[in-house]
Amino acid sequence: MEKELLIPRENIQRRVKELARQISSDYEGKEPILIGILNGVVFFFADLMREISIPTKMDFIRAASYGSEMKSSGSIRLTKDVEMPVRGQPVILVEDIVDTGLTLTHIVKNLESKGPESLRICALIDKLERRDIDVSIDYCGFKINEGFLVGYGLDYDEKYRHLPDICILK
């Protein structure tokens, strides 16, 4: 399959720094728990956490929805839950890309039932094309209208995750 450069690594790093600066200022005096949604988020998560200037904690959740297809299967299953106690804590959920919004909605419900002090969402990419459920993203890296993206953690059938730039698959 052909791929075309969409967001070069320099632009990703610049935007990650801006998001981190915003989060550091909004959470001044607090120690939020960053909860990453595995696996796609790993590079974004690592870069973001290192750019945030206030102390943060880390934990991860894993949800299964995509197989080898380019669209959501519609059913989401948590295959790994958070391990850190989140009750009464400020939580920032970190996601790579929001498409239909199904995955995020499912995870937000799960986390809210654990009673965090607050819950905000940080997503590297907001894909507007196929949104089925309204989700409000508090910290958004890039908005794109359509297309299937790979690289910087994003995969197609477990391929292309290692690419340093974000590309569009043709």
Residues that bind ligand IMP (CB under 6 A): 37, 40, 65-66, 72, 95-104, 127, 148-149, 154
Instruction: Tell me, letter by letter, the H, E, C secondary structure of the chain.
Output: CCEEEEECHHHHHHHHHHHHHHHHHHCCCCCCEEEEEECCCHHHHHHHHHHCCCCCEEEEEEEECCCCCCCCCCCCEEEECCCCCCCCCEEEEEEEEECCCHHHHHHHHHHHCCCCCEEEEEEEEEECCCCCCCCCCCEEEEEECCCEEEECCECECCECCCCCCEEEEC
Residue 47 interaction partner, one of Mg ion, ligand IMP, none, beta carbon < 5-8 Å per kind: none
Q: Closest separation between CB of residue 37 and ligand IMP, Å? A: 6
Q: Closest separation between CB of residue 88 and Mg ion, Å? A: 27
Residue 123 interaction partner, one of Mg ion, ligand IMP, none, beta carbon < 5-8 Å per kind: none
Kindly name the residue from 99, 134, 157, 165 that is annotated as catalytic.
99
Q: Which is nearer to ligand IMP, 17 or 66 (CB)?
A: 66
Q: Closest separation between CB of residue 138 and ligand IMP, Å? A: 16
Q: Is position 116 an interface residue for Mg ion (rule: CB under 5 A)?
A: no
Q: How far apart are CA 157 and CA 25, in angstroms?
A: 37
Active-site annotation holds for 99: yes
Per CB under 5 A, the segment of 32-40, 44-52, 119-127, 156-164 that binds Mg ion is: 32-40
Question: Where does this chain bind Mg ion (CB under 5 A)?
Answer: 40, 96
